[in-house]
Amino acid sequence: MSLLFKGRGNQVNSQDKSLFLKLYFFVITIFRHGVHSLGEMWRTPMASIMTILVLGLSLTLPTTLYVVVKNVQKVSSGFQEAAEISLFVKEEITEQETQTLVKRLALYPEVDSVSFISRSEALTEFKQISGFGQALDYLEENPLPSVVLVTPTKRHRGAESAQVLLEKLQGEREVEFGKLDIEWLERLNALLGLLKESVFTVGLLLLSAVVLIIGNTIRLSIMDKKEEIQVLKLVGATNTFIHTPFLWTGIWYGVVGGLVAFICVVLMLWWLESAVSLVVGVYQSNFVLEGLNLSELFSLLLLAISLGFIGSYLSVQKYIREIEPEKV
């Protein structure tokens, strides 16, 4: 009995070793095909370079549009909150009554701070900013109203909550009307949404073109090796063995094409850096163009590899299946 069970144990061990060896040789064969397909690309450098450049430039445009949207969002993120609300006081309200209004508004839970600009202070500031100081001296009376500037708390600085606060503040009897300048922000968000949709549409079209380009390139490669594929099928080669080199070719096209797209975007940002610095200097800002970070680079490469694999897989499934050894 012990000899019987011992034999079964040896059989199980041999099966485990056999399964491990099969998996090992399967992985080695796949990587060997990958190296072989890279060598095939190296043997036809001009055709490979042309295909890679077409893929890289096709990926560059949607990637560039993505970077543009990313930087526009970076700029607009600083304006997503209402900085302050301007309340224009009625002309008949005295300055003492306005001071009372200021104290009352400061007690609002939605208000962070309140400041008061009198009519005389407003006129003095307008003279300095407008450049019409001497002309304004001929005015018989001050046409500017008193203004109360209200800064909402951080919780109420969103566009919707700030609008609700504005309507509440306009209910005060001393207030003529209030102003919350968020219309331009809504227009900016609408344009940003349109830009995002454009990026998605253009990107979808160009990525589809990438799949078609890779598929056509793999098709030409399959037709060029038609007789070799027929011989392989004749001697009993499996579909996996035949398909793998072509799939690897599509993957390599995706990898190198993604790197080309990344390099093109980096060069484009470097070229635009001086122009952006000039514009930023005019507006006295410290904005810096932001390119692709490491995770976005990996996402770009993963997308390019996926497109290369899909394009090559579609060609392999369609054209290798039509090649039969009987037609040798």
Query: CATH number of the domain that 121 lies in?
Result: 3.30.70.3040
In a domain, 145, yes or no: yes
Same domain, 69 and 109: no
Q: Check if the beta carbon of residue 92 is closer than 8 Å to that of residue 300.
A: no
The per-residue pLDDT for range 157-183, each reduced to its tens digit, is 676 777 788 888 888 888 888 877 666
In this predicted structure, what is the pLDDT of residue 12?
Answer: 45
Same domain, 318 and 195: yes
Same domain, 166 and 234: no
Same domain, 63 and 207: yes
Q: Is 92 left (phi over 0), alpha (psi -120 to 50) or beta?
A: alpha
- More confident of the two residues 311 and 92: 311
Identify the band that residue 107 occupies on the pLDDT scale cut at 50, 70 and 90. Answer: confident
In this predicted structure, what is the pLDDT of residue 262?
Answer: 93
In a domain, 3, yes or no: no
In this predicted structure, what is the pLDDT of residue 268?
Answer: 87
Tell me if residue 109 falls in helix, strand or coil: coil
* Domain that residue 247 falls in: 33-78+187-322
Same domain, 228 and 269: yes
Report angle CA 184, 185, 188 to the nearest 5 degrees.
Answer: 90
What share of the chain in percent tops pLDDT 70?
70
The per-residue pLDDT for range 270-317, each reduced to its tens digit, is 888 777 777 666 655 666 778 888 888 999 999 999 998 898 888 888
pTM for the whole thing? 0.63
Write down which residue in 129, 149, 180 finishes a domain: 180
Cα separation of 55 and 245, whole Å?
20
Cα separation of 90 and 175, whole Å?
6
Provide the number of structural domains found in the chain.
2
Identify the band that residue 259 occupies on the pLDDT scale cut at 50, 70 and 90. Answer: very high
